Amino acid sequence: MPIVQISRIQHRRGKKADLPQLAAGELGWVVDEQRLYIGNGTVADGAPAVGNTEIMTDGSGAFTTALSYTYKGYLGDSTPVLTGATGDVTRTLQQTLDDYVSVKAFGAVGDDSTADATAIQRAIEELYSDTDQADTRARRILFFPAGIYRISTALKIPPYAHLVGEGPDKTIIRNSGNNAVAITEDTGAQTFGSIGDSSETVPTQIQIEGITFRNTVAYGGVSIDNATKVYFNNCKFTGSYASGGSDASNSKGMTVRSTTALPCSNIVFNQCQFTKFARLVDMSYDVTNVHFNNCDFATGYYGALLGESVDGSTNGLTIGPRSIQFTGSSWSDIGQQAIYVKQTSTTTGSQTRNVISYGNWYAKTVANNFEGTGSIHEVPVLQFDNDECTSILDFFERTDLRDTNFADSTAPSNAPPEVQGIGLHTKAVKQITLSDNTSSATDTGIYLPGFNDKGVKITYKINRGTTYRTGVLTISAAGEYASYNDDFEESNGDAGVTLSAKTSDGDSTAGNDTIRVQYTTTSSSSTDATMEYQVQILV
């Protein structure tokens, strides 16, 4: 058997200034700088160039450069950016990476299999709740990479928390326990009932972005407890409720809990989704100034149920929700009311107030008890049992289900209108044509709910040739009768238009189903009149 000889290892050692040209494969250890070199060998042997190649160690310049960071700008070295007053600011790689914190640095996995609650809670507590967190530098953004983080107990969100995911249905926190997905806590990790004890800081300045909160059992999404200044952006709250199901008081997509001493206030949801909870939003506790902007509400028994448990005396349930706004949002597949401001017999003087619906879209699958798009609506879309409530420029798709009457041949008598209760309903501006030379009272196409206790004001402008009229037609309906008054001003002559109102039955059932606004016109050289109008109803 032949013998294979292995050459002995050659090496030198000394100071950097004395490092010679090393032979091929020969090692040279620079003692004073703790750097290691190896000889290239000759070009004839195949080396690209004669010289010594440095082997990276923690003492080498290349290694030091790799572990440092200097901001270069988007053009890099081609157009240097000066980051300091007289030169560049250089930071270590560790310092740079610590500017941004991932839950995976604390052991969370996000594979929908590993139990991640402990790791996530540890990350949250270390960043926002430990004793040294009075230093604002500790309150870094906590990043949740895309994945499904499985938990079985509610996550507790302390003051100053800033949680950021990669977007709805990308970063998902999935709860399978009999509790909400997340609740708020104070700096001492105390939850509702103890928040604020021992002078701990109550929940405040909380921001959450790009996360789905999913509950796989019939419990809630997020409970905001004793908190102020809470902001959710581009989040999703989803439960296990199925379309056609019944009400379940535990199934709440978003709710608040307050005490009289520590009420909730200043809560904003922007571009959020609420779906598959019996109550997509449920607020009875004392809370003020809650805004839902450009949100989507879909698949629930109630859309937003406000003030159901207010009793005027229980701690935190004395006045109920106030100053609640829903703007630019969409609502669909909701069995009962989209927004229900509820009053119990015990809440006189302690009522939910100032609820505003502005510029929302309500699909025809709302308020029909999940009976399909062609079914009769059984409850109003918006129900205001308390005062200071308003619907402004909302679009109700359910109007498309009716003919010219609010109770047509297939509808029950006194079918509910879009908005009912105590409040103001302001519709969008529309335009119609009033035909020339119409001597008998003719429907304008303006049809309104004709139940008792409705006050109607129609602000309008009529243009007929060179004649202009602006006016206000007020209508009061009571029983089978409607009284009206048309107060107007004209310029450049008489427009020759007379407006009136009457009530009529939409079917054979006696009653006052529909207010019909009608008109007559004089003959005016075959000139039709154009009428632009806006309806306001004191519901």
Least confident of 3-12, 49-58, 391-400: 3-12
Q: What pLDDT does 402 receive?
A: 44
Taking residues 356-367, report their average pLDDT: 95
Closest residue by Cα to residue 210 from 182, 171, 237, 239: 171
Side-chain-side CA neighbours of residue 488 (13 Å): 26
Q: How confident is the model at residue 116 (pLDDT cuts 50, 70, 90)?
A: very high
The DSSP secondary-structure symbol of 410 reads T
Q: How confident is the model at residue 7 (pLDDT cuts 50, 70, 90)?
A: low
Selected residue with higher pLDDT from 249 and 416? 249
The DSSP secondary-structure symbol of 538 reads E
Q: What is the percent of the chain with per-residue pLDDT over 70, rounded to a whole number?
A: 88
Please check whether residue 451 is in contact with residue 477, taking contact to mean a CB–CB distance below 8 angstroms.
Answer: yes
**d(C-alpha 496, C-alpha 498), whole Å:** 7
Q: What is the pLDDT of residues 254-264, one digit of tens each?
A: 999 999 999 99
- 425's tokens: 């309903």
Is the predicted pLDDT of residue 337 greater than 70, yes or no?
yes
- 92's tokens: 């270590």
Q: CB within 8 A of 294, min separation 6: which ones?
A: 270, 271, 327, 328, 329
Taking residues 470-485, report their average pLDDT: 86
Please check whether residue 350 is in contact with residue 321, taking contact to mean a CB–CB distance below 8 angstroms.
Answer: no
Q: What pLDDT does 513 receive?
A: 67
Which residue stretches of 29-181 are H helix? 61-66, 93-97, 117-128
Taking residues 202-219, report their average pLDDT: 97
Q: What is the pTM of this model?
A: 0.85
Least confident of 78-87, 271-280, 331-340: 78-87
How would you label 451-463 residue by residue, b for 16+ Cβ within 10 Å and e otherwise? Answer: beebebebbbbbe
Q: What pLDDT does 411 receive?
A: 46
**d(C-alpha 359, C-alpha 527), whole Å:** 35
**Longest pairwise C-alpha distance within the chain:** 125
Q: Write the DSSP string, 261-295.
A: SS-EEEEEEES-EEES-SEEEEE-S-EEEEEEES-
Taking residues 472-480, report their average pLDDT: 83
- 333's tokens: 């597949």
Taking residues 486-508, report their average pLDDT: 86
Is the predicted pLDDT of residue 12 greater than 50, yes or no?
yes
- Within 335-453, strands assigned E span 339-341, 353-358, 361-362, 382-384, 390-392, 395-396, 419-421, 424-426, 430-434, 442-449
Beta bridge partners of 489: 470
| Position 258, amino acid | S
Taking residues 406-419, report their average pLDDT: 58
The DSSP secondary-structure symbol of 360 reads -
Please check whether residue 326 is in contact with residue 306, taking contact to mean a CB–CB distance below 8 angstroms.
Answer: no
Q: What pLDDT does 406 receive?
A: 52
Rounded-to-5 percentages of helix, strand, coil across the chain: 10, 40, 50
CA end-to-end distance (rounded Å), the chain:
106
Neighbours of 440 (CB within 10 A): 6
Q: How confident is the model at residue 410 (pLDDT cuts 50, 70, 90)?
A: very low
Q: What is the pLDDT of residues 128-179, one digit of tens each?
A: 987 556 778 888 999 999 999 999 999 999 999 999 999 999 999 999 999 9
Domains and CATH numbers, the chain: 11-77+88-93 (no CATH), 100-240 (2.160.20.10), 430-538 (2.60.40.1680)
Closest residue by Cα to residue 148 from 207, 103, 208: 103
In this structure, what are the phi and psi dihedrals at residue 247, rounded to the nearest 5 degrees?
-70, 145
Q: What is the pLDDT of residues 48-71, one digit of tens each?
A: 899 999 888 776 766 666 678 888
Q: How confident is the model at residue 403 (pLDDT cuts 50, 70, 90)?
A: very low
Question: What rounded mean pLDDT belongs to the chain?
Answer: 88
**d(C-alpha 514, C-alpha 504), whole Å:** 6
**d(C-alpha 68, C-alpha 96), whole Å:** 9
**d(C-alpha 196, C-alpha 187), whole Å:** 8
Closest residue by Cα to residue 467 from 390, 534, 521: 521
